[in-house]
């Protein structure tokens, strides 16, 4: 058994220590807000926080998260009230929505580190891929969230 703390709750999961964290979150614990995109740490759809850092959970063995705080989109803020979530709604960012939970988690981690990121910071740190091309509104929403965070 592996004990994991996810969104403030402890889960005992009977999985191999090598299983990617993403699989454990989605398939074992049932948190389906986190998405599978590429499975190769390229697209960022699977981004969650581990001890406050944005990580690509599709390539992270679950054993690396033991003893740390894992947060998924479901645990980011009660009732979706995180400044990034509010800005996403206000700017109507999502199209299909598939990439967006990973985007929001990546941006929330960025703003926790850099409360007022420049466009260059955003280019360097937010490398998530959106097939729908919502990048312009993502950038606007990041700047809007930065003012409120």
Minimum distance between the CB of residue 146 and ligand FES, rounded to whole angstroms? 21
Say if residues 6 and 72 touch (Cβ distance below 8 Å).
yes
Output 130 or 145, the one with its CB closest to ligand FES: 130
Minimum distance between the CB of residue 138 and ligand FES, rounded to whole angstroms? 9
Q: What is the DSSP letter of 75?
A: G
Calculate helix-pair angle for 135-148, 83-90, nearest 10 degrees.
130
> What is the Rg, in whole angstroms, of the alpha carbon atoms belonging to the chain?
15
Let me know how many helices (H) and strands (E) the chain has, helices first: 5, 5
Minimum distance between the CB of residue 1 and ligand FES, rounded to whole angstroms? 25
Minimum distance between the CB of residue 39 and ligand FES, rounded to whole angstroms? 5
Minimum distance between the CB of residue 145 and ligand FES, rounded to whole angstroms? 17
Say if residues 84 and 141 touch (Cβ distance below 8 Å).
yes
Output 3 or 132, the one with its CB closest to ligand FES: 132
Give the binding site for ligand FES (CB under 6 A).
36-39, 41-46, 56, 58, 94-100, 130-132, 134
Say if residues 148 and 110 touch (Cβ distance below 8 Å).
no
Output 63 or 147, the one with its CB closest to ligand FES: 63
Q: What SS3 class is residue 18?
A: coil
Output 97 or 115, the one with its CB closest to ligand FES: 97
Residues with Cβ within 8 Å of 9's Cβ and at least 6 positions away in sequence, in order, are none
Output 7 or 95, the one with its CB closest to ligand FES: 95
């Amino acid at each position: 058994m592996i004990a994991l703390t996810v969104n403030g709750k402890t889960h005992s999961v009977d999985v191999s220590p090598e299983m990617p964290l993403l699989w454990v979150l989605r398939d074992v614990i049932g948190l389906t807000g986190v998405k599978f995109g590429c499975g190769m740490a390229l697209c960022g759809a699977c981004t969650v926080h581990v001890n406050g850092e944005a990580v690509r959970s599709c390539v992270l063995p679950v054993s690396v998260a033991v003893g740390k705080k894992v947060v998924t989109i479901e645990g980011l803020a009660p009732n979706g009230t995180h400044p990034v979530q509010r800005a996403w709604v206000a700017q109507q960012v999502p199209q299909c929505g598939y990439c967006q939970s990973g985007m929001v988690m990546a941006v929330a981690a960025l703003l926790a580190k850099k409360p007022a990121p420049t466009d260059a910071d955003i280019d360097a740190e937010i490398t998530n891929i959106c097939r729908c091309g919502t990048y312009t509104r993502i950038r606007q929403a990041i700047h809007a969230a930065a003012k409120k965070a």
